[in-house]
Amino acid sequence: MSKNKNGPRTYNQIHTPRQYTRDKRRFSIYWTWSYPWEANRDVAELDNRFSTMTEVRRVAWPDYESVEYSEKMFLQGIAGTLELFHLSTVRFQALVGEATGHPVAVYQRIDQAGQRLPLDERVLADTDTLMVFGLDHMVTEQEASPDEIEAVRQFLQREGTCLILGPHHDVGVSPDLKERAMEYAHHGDPLVPRQQRFGRYTLSIMKGLGVPVQNRYGLRPATVKDTNQIASLNAFRDLDSRGWLTGVDAFNFHMHLPHYAVTEQTGEGTRSTAQMVRELSKTAEELKQSVARFKID
């Protein structure tokens, strides 16, 4: 990866189409949220919203106490936290851009200026790998239209395309407050509220495409007792026919991993995946690690 500084940032620009090259994939990221609706959520509400930068700073102190995250330089409130998601992909964009020769396009379903961009040919025509990050809270009512689902279906019929869907976690579904408290304690991230339901948009695409998978809970990898070290994965590698776990000894210590439950046993690919997930681990905790492997974050 080049050590050169990142190029100048652009905003409010019309995307310049990238020319197709057989051996160089064009990557695109699609944030499913309505940025204004998320940023304008009432901070007095405890559930189903992103943290404010004040909350992030308090929990992660002193990581965000430098001047670049101060009110002089950085958005505060919920908007600042949304910008952290954008910043989290910068290194990925630089690396993929250098490897493919194509800039990584980043789209938002509804951006800061209220400009709406559904998944249509404007996004899909010059994309080979599409990463859809389901960070829309369900209360913001984002849902794919029939036209969007059809556009994605047509996209997948094009040779060599790849669709990566990430509905994120769905915590605190139960009306039982004690059960929510238990989920919160297991999740382990103090920034996650007792109820944080994500991914209505992404789930609507999966339903439209006939993918029988539901995101549930919020999991984290097991740790070695009395340490913060990730426990080794105990996997039945002979069942990993696709080689997804080749070289994988442990999972990323990330506290936002959902359990991707297969809700129907339809389709050969779904059956084989479900079987591998069931058989990969001997204990319940290791099973949680195994299903977390299918989350791209």
Tens of pLDDT, residue by residue over 38-70, are 999 999 999 999 999 999 999 999 999 999 999
Contact 115, 35 (CB under 8 A): no
C-alpha angle with apex 204: 259 to 97, nearest 5 degrees?
Answer: 75
Contact 255, 187 (CB under 8 A): yes
Rounded to whole angstroms, the Cα distance separating 288 from 262 reads: 14
Question: What end-to-end distance do the CA atoms of the chain give, in Å?
Answer: 21
Q: What percentage of the chain carries pLDDT values higher than 90?
A: 59
Residue 279 pLDDT: 37
**Is the pTM above the cut of 0.85?**
no
